[in-house]
Amino acid sequence: MSRTQDALYAELDLELSWSERDLPERERTKHVHRLHPYLGKFIPQLVETLLARYVPAGGRVLDPFAGSGTTLVQALESGHDAVGVDVAAFNALLMRVKVAEYNLFTLEHELRDAVARLAAADGTTRADVPPYVRRWYAPCAAAELLAFRALIPDYEHADVLRVVLARAARSARRTTHFDLDFPRAPQRGPYWCHKHKRECRPVDRAEHFLRRYALDTVARIKAFARVRARGRSAAVLHGDARALDLDGPFAGVVTSPPYPGLIDYHEQHRYAYELLGLDDLGPLELGRGSTKASVEEYAKGVAEVLERSAERVRRSGRVVIVVNDRRELYPDILERAGLRLEHRVRRHVNRRTGRRAGEYFEDVLVARKKSHS
Ligand SMILES: C[S@@+](CC[C@H](N)C(=O)[O-])C[C@H]1O[C@@H](n2cnc3c(N)ncnc32)[C@H](O)[C@@H]1O
Instruction: Say yes or no to pLDDT of 351 above 50.
Output: no
Give 185-198 pLDDT, tens digit per residue.
898 888 888 888 89
Q: What single DSSP character describes residue 12?
A: B
Which of 39-43, 46-50, 163-167, 220-224 is predicted least confidently? 39-43
Provide the CB-side half-sphere exposure for 109 (13 A, CA).
8
296 contact partners, CB below 8 Å, separation of at least 6: none
If one compares 185 and 101, the residue with the highest pLDDT of the two is 101
Measured in angstroms, how far is the CA atom of residue 200 from the centroid of ligand 1? 34
Measured in angstroms, how far is the CA atom of residue 285 from the centroid of ligand 1? 8
Measured in angstroms, how far is the CA atom of residue 84 from the centroid of ligand 1? 10
Give 29-72 pLDDT, tens digit per residue.
899 999 999 998 899 999 999 999 999 999 999 999 999 999 99
Under a CB-based contact definition with an 8 Å cutoff, are residues 216 and 29 in contact? no
pLDDT bucket at 184, cuts 50 / 70 / 90: confident
Query: Is there an atom of ligand 1 within 6 Å of 75 CB?
Result: no
Choosing from 41, 83, 87 the residue with most ligand 1 atoms within 8 A of its CB, the one to mutate for a pocket test is: 87
Measured in angstroms, how far is the CA atom of residue 291 from the centroid of ligand 1? 20
Give 308-330 pLDDT, tens digit per residue.
999 999 988 999 999 999 999 99
At 19 the pLDDT is 76
Query: Is there an atom of ligand 1 within 6 Å of 240 CB?
Result: yes
111/360 Cα distance (integer angstroms): 40
Q: Which helix (H) or strand (E) holds 27?
A: helix 25-28
At 1 the pLDDT is 44
Instruction: Say yes or no to pLDDT of 346 above 80.
Output: yes
Q: Which own/partner contact pairs does 112-117 have at CB distance under 8 Å and 24+ positions apart?
A: 112/214, 112/215, 112/218, 113/155, 114/148, 114/151, 114/152, 114/154, 114/155, 114/161, 114/214, 115/210, 115/211, 115/214, 115/215, 117/151
Measured in angstroms, how far is the CA atom of residue 62 from the centroid of ligand 1? 13
Query: Is there an atom of ligand 1 within 6 Å of 86 CB?
Result: yes
Q: What is the mean pLDDT of the chain?
A: 91
Residue 320 Cα distances to 212, 253, 366, angstroms: 37, 6, 5
Using CB atoms within 10 Å of the CB of residue 105, give its burial: 0 to 12 exposed, 13 to 18 middle, 19+ buried: exposed
Query: Is there an atom of ligand 1 within 6 Å of 68 CB?
Result: yes
pTM of the predicted structure, to 2 decimals: 0.93
Closest atom of ligand 1 relative to the 244 alpha carbon: 20
